[in-house]
């Protein structure tokens, strides 16, 4: 048993037709295997972005998924690309006082970041589940 990499996925494989699509998982924030249980859970604001421990419907262990910070890097770039031009247009066109910028852009950046992080984390978890992705293993050990 020692040394031979296992080719079996670490979770029971459901039929592809029975699984929700990655877009459905991302948009609904639901389990990538059954589409029933919530993907995110927790107290307060942490619950908006924290993966649940497992699916409450089918029992899929979400701890096996490692989406890391890949989603955050893309979201930072995307939110900056969306908000920065809009804020410059507002400033050049209306020249509002500085506190108006704070009232506009702080909630916009926070809200857009949370929404896009939920979407991208859900999408990454769904893709990892669908393609049985995991850490790489060397075949010569």
Kindly list the residues in this chain that would bind Zn ion in the complex (CB under 5 A). 31, 33-34, 37, 55, 57-58, 60
Measured from the CB atom, the residue of 12 and 47 that comes closer to Zn ion is 12
The least CB distance from residue 44 to Zn ion, in Å, is 24
C-beta of 33 vs 121, nearer to Zn ion: 33
Backbone φ and ψ of 91, nearest 5°:
-65, -45
Q: How far does Cα 129 stand from its chain's mean position?
A: 13
Rounded Cα gap, residues 126 and 130, in angstroms: 6
CB of 23 to Zn ion, least distance (A): 17
Distance of closest approach, residue 54 Cβ to Zn ion, in angstroms: 8
Enumerate residues 6+ apart whose C-beta is below 8 A from 110. Answer: none
Q: Single out the residue of 34, 37, 35, 36 nearest to residue 53, CA to CA.
A: 37
Residue written as token pair 């850490």: 135
Whole-number Å distance between alpha carbons of 122 and 27 = 8
Is the Cβ of residue 38 or residue 74 nearer to Zn ion in the bound state?
38
Kindly state the smallest distance separating residue 33's Cβ from Zn ion, in Å. Answer: 5
Report the residue number, 75 or 123, with the smaller CB distance to Zn ion: 123
């Amino acid at each position: 048993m020692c040394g031979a990499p296992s080719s079996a996925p670490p979770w029971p494989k459901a039929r592809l037709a029975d699984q929700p699509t990655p877009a459905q998982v991302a948009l609904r924030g639901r389990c990538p295997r059954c589409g029933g249980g919530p993907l995110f859970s927790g107290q307060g604001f942490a619950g908006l972005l924290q993966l649940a421990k497992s699916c409450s419907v089918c029992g899929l262990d979400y701890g096996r998924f490692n989406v890391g910070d890949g989603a955050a890097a893309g979201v930072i770039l995307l939110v900056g690309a969306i908000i920065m031009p809009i804020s410059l247009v507002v400033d050049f066109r209306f020249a509002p006082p500085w506190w108006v910028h704070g009232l506009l852009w702080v909630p916009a950046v926070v809200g857009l970041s949370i929404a896009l992080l939920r979407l991208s984390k859900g999408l990454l978890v769904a893709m990892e589940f669908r393609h049985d992705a995991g850490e790489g293993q060397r075949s010569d050990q």
